[in-house]
C-alpha cells in the first residue's frame, strides 16, 4: 500500500514541479502578499486614532496647533465640512477639528475612540475649543461591512465560478466538444456570463434582504440603484473571470491567478476596513480594482443615500472595465489547449 | 492537407474524398495522425496548409450544422442526466433529429434519467454517439469509438453504427482495430507517420495483394529450423506464420517439422497483415 501511495505522491510532485506556471504562482503569490502587506502596514508607531483637520490647504500644517503633533493620531486633511461631519457620524473619523482662530471640533458621542481622542484634544487645548456634537445615526460595523461581504461574495463567485470552470471545461475537452457545434465563442461567453449573473443577483439579493430583515441594516438610498450597481459590478467581475480563463489550461495556474487577483482586491478594496487612513498611493492603487468601485458606490447608496449622479462615475468605470475585459478575453479566447 | 507541430509533421500531405452514404475508415496505429487528420476536417484543429471541402464548398457554417462528431475523449457536464445532455447539445443546432428515436437507436432508453457520471464505459460511448446524432447529421465522425470497450460492448457498438449507416448517414471512422474497419467500412485509408500508405475497399485491397492463405502455429510447437520450411515464413511474438498458395502441400511439409497440429490455424490475410507489409511494423505497435 505504501509503495502505491509513494508512487502517486512522486508522480503528483513531478506533475506539479513540471507545471512551471502553477509552481511559480504558488511561490510568488504568498511572497508577494506577505511583502505587500508588510509594506503597506509596516509603519512603526501606527496611529491609533484618525482625526480630520478642516482646512482649505491640502497640506497639513502641524505648527498650526500643538494638538496636531500628538503621537498615535493620524491627522488627515478634510476640505469639505459636510463630508467631514458625515465621516465623524459614521466613525470613519474619531474627531473633526478646525483651528482657524474660532477653534472648534466635532465628535460623535457614541464613538468610543472619539471619546478618547476628545480627551487628548481637550488636554492639548486646555478646553479652549468649542464642542460640536454630531447628532446623526452612527453607522454600525455591520452596516458598513455588509456591502463588503456581499461584494466579496460576488467577487469569488464571479472569478472562480466562471474563470475556474471555463479552465476546467477547456482542460477536460468539453469546450472542444462545444467547438464542434455551431456554437460561437461569443454565445458561449454570453451564456456563461448570464448564468453566473443570474446566480449572483439571486444570492446577493437574498442575503441583502435577509440581513436587512434580521439585522435591520441601513439602507438610505434607492433599492433600484443598488440593484443596478450590483448588476454592473457583477458584469465587470465576471468579465474579469473570463479574462483569466481566456486561454489558461491548467486549473492550478488558474487558481493561482485568481488568488493573485482576489486577495489584493479583498484587502485593498475596503471589504473589511476603510482605506481612509491609508496612504494616498494605496487608495489610488485600490481604484484599479472593480470591487473598490462597487463597494464605494454601494456604501454611498446604502449609508449616505447617494443617487445616480453621485455613483454615476463609478458605474461608468465599471462598464468601461467590463468592455475592456470582455474585448481582451474574446481576442485571447481559446477553445482547447494549445 | 498538412499539419506541422514543432519537430513533427503530424499530417503529411493527406488528401482523400469521402462519398456520400459510405463508411470511410482511417486506419492506423496510435500516433499515426488519424485524429489530427479528422480534427482538421472537423474544424477544431487548424491545418498548417490545405483545405477541407464539403459538397464542393469550403467547409463552413453549413458543414458545422450538418456534421456530428464523437471525439475520442470528451468530458460531459457533471450533474446532467443523459436526456438533459442530449437536449442541451440538440439546442445548439438548428437542424434537429427526433430525440426519442436517437435515444432508442443508441439503446439509452433506460438510462435517460441517469447522471452522466454514473454511466459505464459502453453506456458513455453510446451517449457520446447519441450526442453526435442530435442534429440528424449527414456526416458523422467517429474517432476511435470503441477504444476501451470490452468485446461485447464493441460488437454492440458496431450494431449501432450499422443502424446509422442504414439511415443513409455518411460515416468517417478512425480506428486501430482492423476487424472493425473490415466489418464496417466501404473504403479505408491506411495512415502511418502522417501519410496515407494505401486506400481502397478493404476486401479489394486484400484481394489485390494476397492470393495466398496464412497458416499460423505457435513457435514452441516447431521441432525444426524455420528456414527448412518452404514458402514465406514470418515469426513474431511467439507465432509462426506461413504464407502459402497450396495448403495441402504446406501442411504435409509442416507435419515433419512440428510435434502436433492441434494448435494450427488457417486464415485469410487481413488488414493487419497488409499494414505490416506496407509499413514494416504492426498496427498495435
Asked if A180 lies within 8 A of B61 by C-beta distance, the reply is no
Asked if A180 lies within 8 A of B43 by C-beta distance, the reply is yes
For residue B163, give the C-alpha cell: 443502424
Enumerate the residues of chain B whose CB falls inside 8 A of the CB of residue A337. none
Among chain A residues, the shortest Cα distance to B131 is held by A177
Q: A165-174, A180-189, A229-238: which has the highest mean pLDDT? A: A229-238
pLDDT tens per residue, range B243-274? 888 888 888 877 777 777 788 888 888 888 88
Q: CA angle A301-A307-A226, nearest 5°?
A: 45
Higher pLDDT, B19 or A217: B19
Mean pLDDT along residues B165-188: 89
Largest CA distance in chain A: 83
pLDDT tens per residue, range A267-321? 888 888 777 767 778 888 899 999 999 999 999 999 888 999 999 999 999 999 9
For residue A47, give the C-alpha cell: 496611529
If one counts every other C-beta atom within 10 angstroms of the C-beta of residue B284, the result is 12
Mean pLDDT along residues A245-264: 85
Q: What is the DSSP string of chain B?
A: -BEEETTEEEE-S------TT-EEEEE--TTSSHHHHHHHHHTSS--SB---EETTEES-HHHHHHEEEE-SS----TT-BHHHHHHHHHTT-SS---HHHHHHHTT-GGGTTSBGGG--HHHHHHHHHHHHHTT--SEEEEESTTTT--HHHHHHHHHHHHHHHHTT-EEEEEES-HHHHHHH-SEEEEEETTEEEEEE-HHHHHHHH--SEEEEEEGGGB-S-GGGS-SEEEEETTEEEEEES-HHHHHHHHHTTBS-STT-EEE---HHHHHHHHHSS-TT-
Q: Is the pLDDT of residue B202 over 60?
A: yes
First to last CA, chain A: 37
DSSP state for residue A164 in the 8-state scheme: I
Q: How far is CA A43 from CA A30, A80, A236, A308, B50, in A?
A: 21, 28, 34, 38, 65
**Residues 6 or more apart whose Cβ sits within 8 Å of residue A289:** A264, A265, A268, A269
pTM of the model: 0.71
- pLDDT above 70 coverage of chain A, percent: 84
Cα(A1)–Cα(A9) distance, integer angstroms: 12
**Residues 6 or more apart whose Cβ sits within 8 Å of residue A53:** A60, A68, A75, A76, A77, A78, A96, A97, A98, A99
For residue A333, give the C-alpha cell: 479566447
The answer to whether the beta carbons of residues B255 and B261 sit under 8 Å apart is: yes
Average pLDDT across chain A, whole number: 83
Distance from CA of A175 to the nearest CA of B (A): 9
Mean pLDDT along residues A165-188: 84
Q: Is the pLDDT of residue A251 over 50?
A: yes
Among chain B residues, the shortest Cα distance to A176 is held by B44
Asked if B44 lies within 8 A of A335 by C-beta distance, the reply is yes
Instruction: Give me the helices (H) in A55-111, please.
Output: 81-89
- pLDDT above 70 coverage of chain B, percent: 94
Cα(A107)–Cα(A96) distance, integer angstroms: 7
pLDDT score, position B178:
83
First to last CA, chain B: 25
Rg over alpha carbons for chain A, rounded to the nearest Å, is 24
Q: Is the pLDDT of residue B49 over 90?
A: yes
The answer to whether the beta carbons of residues B178 and B272 sit under 8 Å apart is: yes
Higher pLDDT, A24 or A187: A187
Enumerate the residues of chain A whose CB falls inside 8 A of the CB of residue B42. 180
Higher pLDDT, A301 or A252: A301
Q: In what order do the strands lie in the sheet with B195-200?
A: B67-70, B139-143, B170-175, B23-27, B187-192, B195-200
Cα(A221)–Cα(A160) distance, integer angstroms: 30
Asked if B93 lies within 8 A of A181 by C-beta distance, the reply is yes
Q: Does A330 touch chain B (CB under 8 A)?
A: no
Enumerate the residues of chain A whose CB falls inside 8 A of the CB of residue B77. 174
**Residues 6 or more apart whose Cβ sits within 8 Å of residue B42:** A180, B67, B69, B141
The answer to whether the beta carbons of residues A212 and A220 sit under 8 Å apart is: no
If one counts every other C-beta atom within 10 angstroms of the C-beta of residue A186, the result is 11
Asked if B44 lies within 8 A of A181 by C-beta distance, the reply is no
Mean pLDDT along residues B41-49: 89
pLDDT score, position A14:
61
Asked if A182 lies within 8 A of B73 by C-beta distance, the reply is no
Residue labelled with grid coordinates 483651528: A99
- Backbone phi, psi, residue B260, to 5°: -170, 160
Q: CA angle A137-A139-A143, nearest 5°?
A: 135
- Backbone phi, psi, residue B258, to 5°: -125, 155
Q: Does A10 touch chain B (CB under 8 A)?
A: no
ipTM tops the 0.90 cut: no
**Residues 6 or more apart whose Cβ sits within 8 Å of residue A186:** A330
Q: Does B54 touch chain A (CB under 8 A)?
A: no
- Which residue, among B221, B206, B272, has the nearest Cα to B28 in the 3D structure? B272
**Residues 6 or more apart whose Cβ sits within 8 Å of residue A333:** A185, A189, A242, A246, A247
pLDDT tens per residue, range A13-50? 565 666 676 566 656 655 665 566 556 655 556 667 88
Enumerate the residues of chain B whose CB falls inside 8 A of the CB of residue A173. 71, 73-75
Cα(B158)–Cα(B177) distance, integer angstroms: 12
pLDDT score, position A225:
96
For residue A286, give the C-alpha cell: 485600490
Cα(B198)–Cα(B189) distance, integer angstroms: 6
Enumerate the residues of chain B whose CB falls inside 8 A of the CB of residue A179. 43-44
Enumerate the residues of chain B whose CB falls inside 8 A of the CB of residue A180. 42-44, 64, 67, 69, 71
Enumerate the residues of chain A whose CB falls inside 8 A of the CB of residue B94. 182
Asked if A182 lies within 8 A of B71 by C-beta distance, the reply is no
CA B140, distance to chain mean position in Å, is 13
Cα(B223)–Cα(A89) distance, integer angstroms: 106
Beta-bridge mates of residue A74? A50
Instruction: Give me the helices (H) in chain A, please.
Output: 2-18, 20-40, 81-89, 112-125, 141-158, 165-171, 174-179, 185-215, 223-245, 251-268, 280-286, 290-304, 308-332
- Which residue, among A138, A125, A167, has the nearest Cα to A329 in the 3D structure? A167
Q: CA angle B185-B191-B194, nearest 5°?
A: 145
If one counts every other C-beta atom within 10 angstroms of the C-beta of residue B63, the result is 20
Amino acid at each position: 500500500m505504501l509503495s502505491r501511495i509513494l508512487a502517486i505522491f512522486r508522480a503528483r510532485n513531478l506533475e506539479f514541479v513540471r507545471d512551471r506556471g502553477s509552481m511559480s504562482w504558488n511561490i510568488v503569490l504568498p511572497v508577494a502578499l506577505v511583502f505587500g502587506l508588510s509594506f503597506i502596514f509596516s509603519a512603526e508607531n501606527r496611529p491609533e486614532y484618525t482625526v480630520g483637520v478642516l482646512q482649505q490647504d491640502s497640506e497639513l500644517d502641524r505648527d498650526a496647533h500643538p494638538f496636531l503633533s500628538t503621537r498615535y493620531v493620524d491627522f488627515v486633511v478634510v476640505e469639505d465640512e459636510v463630508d467631514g461631519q458625515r465621516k465623524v457620524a459614521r466613525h470613519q473619523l474619531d474627531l473633526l477639528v478646525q483651528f482657524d482662530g474660532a477653534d472648534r471640533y466635532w465628535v460623535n458621542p457614541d464613538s468610543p475612540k472619539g471619546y478618547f481622542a476628545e480627551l487628548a484634544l481637550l488636554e492639548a487645548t486646555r478646553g479652549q475649543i468649542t464642542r460640536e456634537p454630531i447628532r446623526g445615526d452612527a453607522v454600525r460595523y455591520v452596516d458598513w461591512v455588509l456591502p463588503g461581504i456581499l461584494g466579496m461574495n460576488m467577487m469569488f463567485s464571479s472569478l472562480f465560478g466562471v474563470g475556474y470552470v471555463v479552465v476546467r471545461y477547456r482542460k477536460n475537452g468539453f469546450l472542444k466538444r462545444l467547438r464542434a457545434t455551431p456554437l460561437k465563442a461569443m454565445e458561449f461567453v454570453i451564456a456563461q456570463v448570464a448564468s453566473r449573473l443570474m446566480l449572483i443577483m439571486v444570492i446577493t439579493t437574498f442575503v441583502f434582504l435577509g440581513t436587512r430583515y434580521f439585522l435591520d441594516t441601513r439602507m438610505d438610498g434607492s433599492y433600484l440603484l443598488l440593484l443596478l450597481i450590483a448588476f454592473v459590478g457583477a458584469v465587470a467581475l465576471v468579465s474579469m473571470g473570463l479574462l483569466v480563463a481566456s486561454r489558461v489550461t491548467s486549473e492550478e495556474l488558474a487558481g493561482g491567478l485568481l488568488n493573485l487577483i482576489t486577495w489584493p482586491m479583498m484587502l485593498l478594496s475596503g471589504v473589511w476596513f476603510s482605506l481612509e487612513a491609508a496612504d494616498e498611493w494605496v487608495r489610488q492603487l485600490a481604484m484599479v480594482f472593480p470591487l473598490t468601485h462597487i463597494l464605494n458606490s454601494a456604501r454611498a447608496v446604502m449609508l449616505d443615500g447617494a443617487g445616480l449622479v453621485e455613483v454615476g462615475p463609478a458605474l461608468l468605470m465599471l462598464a468601461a472595465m467590463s468592455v475592456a475585459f470582455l474585448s481582451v478575453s474574446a481576442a485571447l479566447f481559446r477553445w482547447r489547449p494549445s | 492537407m498538412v499539419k506541422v507541430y514543432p519537430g513533427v509533421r503530424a499530417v503529411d500531405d493527406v488528401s482523400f474524398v469521402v462519398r456520400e452514404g459510405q463508411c470511410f475508415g482511417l486506419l492506423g496505429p496510435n500516433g499515426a495522425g488519424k485524429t489530427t487528420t479528422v480534427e482538421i476536417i472537423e474544424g477544431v484543429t487548424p491545418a498548417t496548409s490545405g483545405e477541407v471541402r464539403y459538397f464542393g464548398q469550403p467547409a463552413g457554417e453549413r458543414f458545422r450544422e450538418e456534421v456530428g462528431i464523437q471525439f475520442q475523449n470528451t468530458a460531459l457536464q457533471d450533474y446532467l442526466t443523459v436526456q438533459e445532455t442530449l437536449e442541451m447539445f440538440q439546442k445548439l443546432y438548428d437542424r434537429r433529429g427526433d430525440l426519442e428515436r436517437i435515444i432508442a437507436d443508441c439503446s439509452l432508453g433506460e438510462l435517460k434519467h441517469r447522471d452522466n457520471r454514473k454511466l459505464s464505459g459502453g453506456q458513455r460511448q453510446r451517449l457520446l454517439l447519441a450526442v453526435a446524432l442530435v442534429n440528424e447529421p449527414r456526416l458523422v465522425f467517429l474517432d476511435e469509438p470503441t477504444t476501451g470497450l470490452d468485446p461485447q460492448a464493441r460488437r454492440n457498438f458496431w450494431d449501432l453504427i450499422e443502424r446509422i449507416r442504414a439511415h443513409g448517414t455518411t460515416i468517417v471512422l478512425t480506428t486501430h482495430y482492423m476487424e472493425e474497419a473490415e466489418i464496417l467500412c466501404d473504403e479505408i485509408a491506411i495512415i502511418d507517420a502522417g501519410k496515407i500508405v494505401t486506400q481502397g475497399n478493404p476486401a479489394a485491397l486484400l484481394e489485390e495483394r494476397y492470393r495466398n492463405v496464412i497458416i499460423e502455429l505457435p513457435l514452441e510447437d516447431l521441432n525444426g529450423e524455420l528456414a527448412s520450411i518452404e514458402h514465406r515464413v514470418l515469426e513474431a511474438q511467439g507465432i509462426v506464420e506461413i504464407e502459402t498458395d497450396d495448403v495441402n502441400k504446406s501442411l504435409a511439409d509442416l507435419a515433419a517439422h512440428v510435434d502436433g497440429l492441434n494448435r494450427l490455424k488457417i486464415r485469410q490475410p487481413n488488414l493487419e497483415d497488409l499494414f505490416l507489409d506496407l509499413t514494416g511494423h504492426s498496427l498495435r505497435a
